[in-house]
Amino acid sequence: MNADIGVVGMAVMGQNLALNMERKGFVVAVYNRTRKRTEDLVAGRGKGRRFIPCYDLEAFVSSLARPRKVLLMVKAGQATDAVLKELFPLLEPGDVVMDGGNSHFLDTERRLAEAERRGLLYLGVGISGGEHGALHGPAIMPGGHREGYAIVEDILAKTAAQGPQGSCCAFLGPGSAGHYVKMVHNGIEYAIMQALAECYDLMKRGLSMAPREMADVFATWNGGELSGYLLEITERILRHVDPDTGRPLVELIRDTAQQKGTGKWSTQAALDEGTCAPTIAAAVFARTVSALKEERRAAAGVLPGPSPEIREERGGVLEELFGALYLTIVAAYAQGFRQLGDASRERGYDLSLAEVARVWMDGCIIRSRLLVPMRTAFMENPDLPLLFLALPFASRWREHHGALRATVMRAHRVGIPVPAMGSALDFLDAYRTERLPANLIQAHRDFFGAHTYERVDRPGVFHTDWESAP
Ligand code: NBP
């Protein structure tokens, strides 16, 4: 019996994906550098399943039906390079190698070029959904060699979540398109999580609400058009009681958010491309500030601020908070999609943003009911510059921008930081302003660096000798 597909890397993601694929009817060869993980899988959760356990890469490769299909689920970076160095020479032209890890898109470009030299078909495959998604159906974002995708499409499409509008897997484009889309997915994820944390902070410190009460609010919000996985788990987290202490577990967790780097990469790439992703960047920096625990503790005694108490009627504050959250979440998606559109033009991905929205509808961490109207917006206008210009989101802006303003001003008044909400508001206010003060910046640049400027009243490029001007 030959395996339909082989998975390298039997840590959390690899194991669960292998189990998922086997359940979909495929024979799966499994291999891990450390033998014990493979042994544990086939003796435990994988017992009696159609797995072919392999304990060296040669045996693993020989167990695969031709053309061979290999999915790497190993740590991104050097580990992936180490596996590929060993694996590539064992394969034959026409075999397909998929990297399902969170690889940096530039690493994917480099590996794809190396695979191409060897006649191999290479796919950088973004996978989202964590452990649960890997087992029950993640969102899968492949990019790279289209011929390679044709060979693995059946397996990937069946392994992916089955969303309201089809399998949450689609070939996204050439090169590093898949990993780029996954990276921006994570950037959006950072921004939504930050916005939810800001709501929690305003409810907790501002309104003195108990986690159980906050959970009720999130449950209500999650029942409407904002419904999505991150709202759902926020409610569940807030209801969770620590069995040891009887206290809400969330209150016992240290307030320093860690990061593995995909949010940072997403922001770095946005900066490199000159695209606008300030809310995603704000969320990355908010995590950085959260990590300064000891400094924050010291500063608390040195830098006073107002009392965080919000002395207003709770119902009204929460109503406005919903509007603020709504627009901030849409701003996160809007900036992410905009970055994807810009990267697609720059890097030749030829992305369909409507298809990206469809793939994100289920299985992944940023799945949300909002993706249905977002997909429609991109289907109606594939070149839409920003989601807020599409009718449903423009009308939500009109409806909620007062609430976003009120929430940001309220938070600033009581000294509760809202970097995601604040940056979403600033971004949209700048975006809808016909004349920004950048003319003064151009004058500064010309003053000290003779960088020249354009005028609004006549064509051409100008320089002024500002020092000698009267
Ligand atoms: P980890 O990211 O923790 O990686 C552990 C795996 O990498 C183990 O199988 C380990 O083998 C293998 N590995 C390492 Br480390 N160095 C190696 C080397 N030099 N040669 C061969 N194998 C090596 O596992 P994970 O959390 O399951 O994630 C797998 C991939 O999926 C990562 O790229 C991750 O970023 C991505 N991802 C994770 C999630 C998630 O929710 N966890 C979601 C989406 C994507 P060993 O057992 O011998 O040490």
CATH code for the domain in which residue 454 is found = 1.20.5.320
CA 109 from chain center: how many Å?
20
Last residue of a domain, which of 131, 148, 175? 175
Residue 258: pLDDT over 90: no
Write down the catalytic residue from 22, 69, 189, 264: 189
My answer on whether 280 and 388 are in the same domain is: yes
My answer on whether 165 and 104 are in the same domain is: yes
Q: Which atom of ligand 1 is nearest to the CA of 130?
A: 41
Residue 259 pLDDT: 86
Residue 304: pLDDT over 80: yes
Q: Within 6 Å (CB) of ligand 1, which residues are found?
A: 9-14, 32-34, 37, 73-76, 79, 82-83, 101-102, 127-128, 130-131
> pTM (2 decimals)?
0.97
Residue 248: pLDDT over 80: yes
The CATH number linked to 46 is 3.40.50.720
Q: Name the nearest CA neighbour of 145 among 125, 165, 175, 167.
A: 175
Q: Does the annotation count 182 as an active-site position?
A: yes
Q: Give the torsion sign (CA, 101, 271, 363, 176).
A: negative
Residue 469: pLDDT over 80: no
Structural element, H or E, at residue 213: helix 211-222
My answer on whether 170 and 243 are in the same domain is: no
Question: Is residue 230 within 8 Å of 366, Cβ to Cβ?
Answer: yes
Average pLDDT over residues 261-286: 96
Per the structure block, which two tokens stand in for 341?
A: 């559109």
The CATH number linked to 376 is 1.10.1040.10
Last residue of a domain, which of 129, 157, 175? 175
Neighbours of 414 (CB within 10 A): 16
Residue 412 Cα distances to 39, 57, 193, 421, angstroms? 55, 57, 20, 11
Domain of 239 in residue numbering reads as 182-431
- For 42, which DSSP code? H
Residue 106 pLDDT: 98
Domain count for the chain:
3
Residue 432: pLDDT over 80: yes
More confident call, 163 vs 274:
274
My answer on whether 260 and 345 are in the same domain is: yes
Place of tokens 């590996």: 111
My answer on whether 427 and 442 are in the same domain is: no
Residues in the chain: 470
Q: Name the nearest CA neighbour of 37 among 26, 53, 51.
A: 53
Cα–Cα distance for residue pair 85/70, rounded to 1 Å: 14
Q: Give the torsion sign (CA, 276, 280, 285, 286).
A: positive
My answer on whether 274 and 385 are in the same domain is: yes
The per-residue pLDDT for range 146-202, each reduced to its tens digit, is 999 999 999 999 999 998 889 999 999 999 999 999 999 999 999 999 999 999 999
Q: How many CA atoms lie within 13 A of 287 on its CB side?
A: 20
My answer on whether 296 and 242 are in the same domain is: yes
Average pLDDT value over all residues in the chain? 97
Phi, psi for 180 (deg, rounded to 5): -65, -45
Q: Does the annotation count 189 as an active-site position?
A: yes
Residue 425 pLDDT: 98
Average pLDDT over residues 258-270: 93
The per-residue pLDDT for range 34-70, each reduced to its tens digit, is 999 999 999 999 999 999 999 999 999 999 999 999 9
